[in-house]
Amino acid sequence: MMIYQKTLRNSIRCTGVGVHSGNLVNMTLKPAAAGSGIVFRRTDVAAEIADIPARFDTVSELVMCTTVKNEANVKVATIEHLMAAFSGTGVDNAIVELDGPEVPVMDGSSAPFVFLIECADIVDQALPRKYIKVLKEIEVTEGDAVAVLSPGDNISVAFEIDFENKRIGKQQCSFNMRNGTFKNELSRARTFGFLSELEQLKEMGLAKGGSLENAIVLSGQEILNEEGLRYDDEFVRHKALDAIGDLYLAGAPIIGQFQGYRSGHALNNKLLHAFLSDSEAWCYTTEAPVRVSNVGGAHWSTQQAAAPITA
């Protein structure tokens, strides 16, 4: 079954706070040509150094978020929730314009980005979609954290966390990324943190924009957000969401099974480096995953199935 690459039909703009910088950021999502991938573009720097490809090998920093940079040392941080939304809605090619060095955090989940993508609409392009198929298992570890990619017939993610904090404790989740799975089961899961760590993070130049509006905040075992949790296991679902965003930096959807145990951005990126550096571990294919008519989380418009177009 042939699936075509996708981009946005229209541009769409939003403004939000950077969770680490605390500054307001204007962001515009734009259509991009087939085969170009996801590209971040800084509008506050000279045009010749403004573009940063969203790839695993342009990742520069992995403390509390995923950051990419180009050869001119121009950076964009906190890209993982937006990358997860692109992955979950099946968008292959897009330009992300920003007038600052960080993607706005919005509500701490991917749901606002899914909403923006749906409003912009998604269209087919003239090239077939390219997948990366896992051929053999690759595992990386760091301390007691583990991340694994193994062969499989569809795109799936499984995650397990184990926190000393009893309000979180041990949680597990597992999802096949079929139509609607990302949007319905994962996109609304928010990032989380502990009030006791806030001052330390701010001293490190992080979490300056963090608030109850864009994160689940725990004080001891108490959740400070008035509305409580969106899912009973929102914590582990958000870690799975992060992994989906980090894995999309491979440059194409990965057909296989991802399993993470206490993994984070750094280990997810380490896994991609180990996986993609082993030529026997993977291959490109244009054959879509089995049992998946189209990989995406958005409610597709009636135009989605029309004849392919170029951006």
- Give 64's pLDDT tier (boundaries 50, 70, 90): confident
| pLDDT given at position 266 | 96
Number of domains in the chain: 1
> 299 an active-site residue?
no
Domain for residue 54, yes or no?
A: yes
Strands annotated E in the chain: 4-8, 12-17, 24-31, 38-42, 51-53, 59-61, 67-69, 75-76, 94-98, 122-128, 131-134, 138-142, 145-150, 155-162, 170-176, 192-194, 216-219, 222-223, 254-261, 282-285
- DSSP 8-state secondary structure symbol assigned to residue 208: T
Domain for residue 125, yes or no?
A: yes
With a cut of 50, say whether residue 292 has pLDDT above it. no
| pLDDT given at position 246 | 98
Count Cβ atoms within 10 A of the Cβ of residue 215 and give its class: 0-12 exposed, 13-18 middle, 19 or more buried: buried
Residue 45, domain CATH? 3.30.1700.10
Domain for residue 291, yes or no?
A: no
pLDDT in tens, 172-207: 999 999 878 999 999 999 999 898 887 777 777 776
Domain for residue 302, yes or no?
A: no
Mean pLDDT of the chain: 91
Query: Would residue 89 be called left, alpha or beta, if left means φ above 0 and alpha means ψ between -120 and 50 degrees?
Result: alpha
> Which tokens belong to 114?
């899914």
Domain for residue 304, yes or no?
A: no
Residue tagged active-site, from 20, 81, 238, 265? 265
Domain for residue 305, yes or no?
A: no
Rounded Cα distance between 145 and 243, Å, is 13
Alpha helix (H) residue ranges in 109-189: 111-120, 181
Domain for residue 293, yes or no?
A: no
**Which domain range does residue 199 map to?**
4-285
Domain for residue 297, yes or no?
A: no
pLDDT in tens, 130-177: 999 999 999 999 999 999 999 999 999 999 999 999 999 999 999 999
